[in-house]
Amino acid sequence: MAIVALFLRDLRLVWRRPGDVAVVLAFFVIATVLFPLGIGPEANLLARIAAGVLWAAALFASMLSLDRLFAADYEDGALDLLLLAPWPLELAALAKCAAHWVVTGLPLAVLAPLIGLAFGLDDRSLAVLALTLLVGTPALSLIGGLAAALTLGARRSGALLALLALPLCVPTLIFGASAIEATATGESFVVHVAILGALALVALATLPWAIAAALRQAGE
């Protein structure tokens, strides 16, 4: 129950400063809008690159919001209390990543189809885009959570966080984008989404332990 309380606390903290989430979503929109502006408004080309652009932008947006994930708790001492708490630190790490997913992954999955519409994706591709983001973003939140925990108290932690997390996020990006690609060419997207789900489950099964280990050594 304490874990649920931690999860709700994180959500409430975000709720009181909605600007933090708005900035991340605004970044996502602006980053995606740059592509038609830079490449030109040719509809076929835009529809072809939409999947990759939206996924890569979602990746960057979720990186952007991660550097505060544990930093605030680290600075004000709440992390020390989490370390001393009688329940497993792994669950606390999971709760915080889950809260991060609810305030970034979920809104991104809702917002992305709107942008996809502007890129000229068809209805089926839009639905698959939302599905891949729903299935894939939990993995991004967990991988990013590990990078955020590892860089606590480091110099230039923001840039370092991206350097650590992005290579580990590449499989998620590849299978997320290829599911939409497959839909566009009339193939089945199920295999790609299944692999994406497998990646998310592997992240779920392993990374909370790695994050907890990183938090413990940050607390020492």
Chain residues binding another protein by CB under 8 A are 146, 150-151, 153-157, 160, 163-164, 166-168, 170-171, 206-207, 210, 213-214, 217-218, 220
Q: Which is nearer to another protein, 18 or 153 (CB)?
A: 153
CA–CA dist 121, 60 (Å, integer): 21
Q: How far is CA 191 from CA 84, 138, 178, in A?
A: 43, 18, 10
C-alpha angle 149/198/67, rounded to 5°?
20
- Smallest gap from Cβ 152 to another protein, in A, equals 8
**Distance, first Cα to last Cα, the chain:** 26
Q: Which is nearer to another protein, 18 or 167 (CB)?
A: 167
Q: Which is nearer to another protein, 62 or 151 (CB)?
A: 151
Q: Which is nearer to another protein, 109 or 150 (CB)?
A: 150
Token output for 76: 């004000």
Of 75, 82, 97, 100, nearest to 20 by C-alpha is: 100
- Smallest gap from Cβ 207 to another protein, in A, equals 7
CA–CA dist 130, 59 (Å, integer): 14
- Smallest gap from Cβ 216 to another protein, in A, equals 9
Q: Which is nearer to another protein, 12 or 216 (CB)?
A: 216
- Smallest gap from Cβ 23 to another protein, in A, equals 25
Token output for 73: 């708790």
Q: Which is nearer to another protein, 115 or 179 (CB)?
A: 179
- Smallest gap from Cβ 164 to another protein, in A, equals 5
- Smallest gap from Cβ 155 to another protein, in A, equals 5
Residue 46 φ then ψ, to 5°:
-60, -45
- 82 CB-near residues (< 8 Å, 6+ apart): 6, 73, 89, 92, 215
